[in-house]
Amino acid sequence: MRRKILGLVVLLILFVAGFWGIAGAQSFRSGNATSVGADENIDSSLWISGRTIDIAGEVNGDVFCAGQNVTISGSVRGDVLCAAQTIVISGEVGGDVRIAAQTATLSGAVVSSVSAATQSFTQGSKSAIGDDVSVASGDASFSGTIGRDAAIGAKTINLNGQIGRNVEASTGSLSLGGQADIRGDLSYTSEKSAKFASGANVQGETSRSAPKKKESENAAQTVGTFLGPALYFLAAALLITLVLVLLFPQAFHAITAQGLKMPWKALLVGLVTAIAIPVLIVLLMLTVVGIPLALLLLFAWIILQTLAITAAAYLLGRVVWRNQRSTILTMLVGTVLFVILLLVPIIDVIVYFLAAFLGIGMTMLELNKRRPKPRYNLDPRPANTRATPAR
């Protein structure tokens, strides 16, 4: 029975794995230190992963990257979609930039928009962004040019460049340097008034609103309000993960082996899959005739996400308790730690998405490894025993 269930799950997810053929037609690079040389020209989209990534050449397509330290000093004609610990973009990007990082520095030109989720974000004085900026960060500093609107949420915000239209901000501290030139309105939410240096200019209206204060609660109420949902969430997560690892222990061990062996590649594959599959489902829905396939793909996508989060919890257990051979204890430890991280404010969203991308990537890599080759000749007899047609 377990084999039948596993076979059904794999069969459904293989529809998701079909995007691999598309990826195979693109440029894919992976390793501890991967690069695109200054004299290289890649005439396709680039998927690149590694501990250290250096893109100094020209890419005539999109760049999808995942690593620890990423540097883009060359030219990218398409979009940049990247997750890393440190990201530095000093080259030119012809499309959008969508990044998640601990530290991000932008000193080059971006033709379209920039979206970033970081702990620290810096736009250099020589940087130019053609359209909009959306940044969620701990600290954010902007000294270059922004063509249109800026939406910023950060603990501290420093504006010291030109912004073509409006600024909306939510912050603990906002300051405008002497080179700040906002050509629209400035509206911000903060407990403190913004600091304006001499020469700072806002051509439109400036308005401040105070953040809403939560009603005071005593300590017992606060603990009770938090503890109940937290215990329920932990119990539900343990039930799902332990049942799955009881049914498919070898599968989870094999899937997480991909994450231990090549985590950056798994993260990159998961990131691309999480973007490609929903888009494919929508496109199939729009064709009308593809609706049945879209529904089947959606079902497979839901299963894949469930397996991905469970696999991420199991991977965390393997990393923390390396010498443990019991799959149950490994999953138990990993799930508890994973739930604790999800209950920590600010980092909970980052932890969830990293776990989802990594889990999806590990699962896709293992599925691709186990994907059976198509067999079009269904005659079970060996070729040398088949009768030859009479002439």
- Residue 13 domain-assigned (yes or no): no
Say if residue 293 is in the same domain as residue 347.
Answer: yes
Question: What does the buried/exposed string (b/e) look like for 237-250 if buried means 16 or more CB atoms within 10 Å of the residue's CB?
Answer: bbeebbebbeebbe
Q: What pLDDT sits at residue 108?
A: 94
Domain residue limits at 339: 221-370
Q: What pLDDT sits at residue 374?
A: 64
Q: What pLDDT sits at residue 380?
A: 61
Say if residue 237 is in the same domain as residue 168.
Answer: no
333, two tokens: 């430890």
Is residue 287 over pLDDT 60?
Answer: yes
Boundary-marking domain end, from 209, 229, 247: 209
Say if residue 181 is in the same domain as residue 95.
Answer: yes
How crowded is the C-beta side of 61, counted as CA atoms within 13 Å?
A: 15
- Residue 387 domain-assigned (yes or no): no
- Residue 376 domain-assigned (yes or no): no
Say if residue 238 is in the same domain as residue 143.
Answer: no
Answer with the residue of higher pLDDT: 281 or 87: 87
| pLDDT single digits (tens) 321-350 | 888 788 888 888 888 888 777 777 666 777
Say if residue 46 is in the same domain as residue 77.
Answer: yes
Is residue 247 over pLDDT 90?
Answer: no
pLDDT more than 70, % of the chain: 81
Q: How sure is the predictor about 264, in pLDDT bands with cuts at 50, 70 and 90?
A: confident
Lowest mean pLDDT segment, chosen from 53-62, 112-121, 181-190, 236-245: 236-245
Answer with the residue of higher pLDDT: 246 or 379: 246
Say if residue 136 is in the same domain as residue 198.
Answer: yes
Say if residue 274 is in the same domain as residue 185.
Answer: no
Q: How sure is the predictor about 110, in pLDDT bands with cuts at 50, 70 and 90?
A: very high
Say if residue 176 is in the same domain as residue 54.
Answer: yes
pTM equals: 0.68
Say if residue 77 is in the same domain as residue 101.
Answer: yes
- Residue 385 domain-assigned (yes or no): no
Q: How sure is the predictor about 23, in pLDDT bands with cuts at 50, 70 and 90?
A: very low
- Choose among 353, 350, 297: nearest CA to 16: 297
Q: What pLDDT sits at residue 170?
A: 92
Lowest mean pLDDT segment, chosen from 43-52, 69-78, 185-194: 43-52
Q: How sure is the predictor about 226, in pLDDT bands with cuts at 50, 70 and 90?
A: very low
Q: How sure is the predictor about 37, in pLDDT bands with cuts at 50, 70 and 90?
A: very high
Boundary-marking domain end, from 186, 209, 232: 209
| Mean pLDDT, residues 364-384 taken together | 69
Say if residue 57 is in the same domain as residue 199.
Answer: yes
- Residue 377 domain-assigned (yes or no): no
Is residue 237 over pLDDT 70?
Answer: no
| Mean pLDDT, residues 182-188 taken together | 95
Q: How many domains, the chain?
A: 2
Q: What pLDDT sits at residue 5?
A: 41
Say if residue 44 is in the same domain as residue 147.
Answer: yes
Boundary-marking domain end, from 209, 235, 253: 209
How confident is the prediction for the chain on average, in pLDDT?
81
- Choose among 268, 367, 362, 266: nearest CA to 314: 362
Say if residue 204 is in the same domain as residue 150.
Answer: yes
Q: What pLDDT sits at residue 233?
A: 59
